Every structure is written in C-alpha cells, then in structure tokens.
Amino acid sequence: MLSFATPTWQTAILAQNTTKGPLGSGKARMANLIVPRVYLSDYFTATDERELGRLGITHIVTVLDRQPAIPDCIPQEHRLLVSLADRSDADIISHLDQTTEFITAALAENEENNVLVHCFQGISRSATVVAAYLVSTSTMTASESIAYLQAKRSCRVSKHGLP
C-alpha cells in the first residue's frame, strides 16, 4: 500500500485561497497595533500590499517554516524570516534575540517605520516574538507581556520562549 504525506492544514488553506485578501473575518484576520509602530497579524495581512500600505508597514518579521509572498513594497533588507514550524517543540528561544534586535533597529532607524510581526494565524509564534520584544524593551515581565498581548489580540504565547 502506498502512503502519501498529508499536507499541513496551513498548506491546504493556502491552496484553497484564490484571492489576495484574508479568509473570513474577525480579530485574528486583521493587524492589531500592540505598541506604537509594532503590529501583530497573520499571513494574509503580511501578503496584502494594500493593507501593508494602509498601516504604513515598512518592515516585516515572518515566523513561518517557509518564505511567504511578501509584496515588493517591502524591500528584502526590511524583511526577517525566522524559519520555524508551528509545533510545540520548535525552538523559538534561539531566535528571540535576533527578532528583538531587528524590531528595535527598524524602529530606531526612522520614526516613520512600522513593523509587522506575523506567523500563519498570528496567534502563537509571532505573539511569542512580540512578547519577548516587550519584555526586552519595557518594564513588563513575561507574565505581564502575555496578559497585555492577550488583551490586544486573541493569542497564545509560548511561556517557554520568555525569560
């Protein structure tokens, strides 16, 4: 008997999405301003040129296991790809210094810069990256940053990824 790998649910959704815009509606399908100039969102927002322009996004942090189709309005040097699968045992900790440095540098470079951090749904991997950024750049503890993020957006933050 032959056995074929079943595509991930993310791949299946992407294959069925023939439009450029987001699927469905609701809080998880839009960008949320977490702190001034830092947004948290999903794959569909990150690949929507019109929405990126509306938000004034200049830099993107992608936390996915593949390169997304980011529009050309975001230059290559303003993109950071953290190649990370959506699995509970994925090592996000080793990437948090890099993502925090990228976000911090983007914001320091120009007062007009805005950063979008996203994963596929914008609720776990990318939320962990933003929580780590908050811990690193504010007086928030890990628990406070998680509670703060959850008040701003429906998300799940990996507590194993935060100090």
Q: What is the pLDDT of residues 46-79, one digit of tens each?
A: 999 999 999 999 999 999 999 999 999 999 999 9
- 87, with CB counted inside 10 A (0-12, 13-18, 19+), is exposed
Q: Greater confidence, 25 or 41?
A: 41
Q: What is the mean pLDDT of residues 101-119?
A: 98
| Rg, the chain, Cα only | 15
Q: Which two tokens stand for residue 152?
A: 């701003």
Q: What is the mean pLDDT of residues 137-160?
A: 83
Q: Which two tokens stand for residue 139?
A: 């007086």
Query: Measured between alpha carbons, how far is 53 from 25 in angstroms, rounded to an integer?
Result: 20
At residue 157, the pLDDT reads 67
Q: What is the set of active-site residues?
A: 119
Q: pLDDT above 90 covers what percent of the chain?
A: 66
At residue 123, the pLDDT reads 85
Query: Measured between alpha carbons, how far is 132 from 52 in angstroms, rounded to an integer?
Result: 23
109 pLDDT higher than 90? yes
**How far is Cα of residue 128 from the mean position of the Cα atoms in its chain?**
9
**How far is Cα of residue 58 from the mean position of the Cα atoms in its chain?**
14
Residue 115: what are its φ and ψ, rounded to 5°? -115, 135
Read off the pLDDT band of 154 (50, 70, 90).
Answer: confident
Query: Which residues are CB-contacts of 46 (< 8 A; sequence separation ≥ 6)?
Result: 52, 60, 62, 68, 70, 116, 118
Per DSSP, the three-state class of 82 is strand
Helix axes 96-109, 125-137, angle to 10 degrees: 70
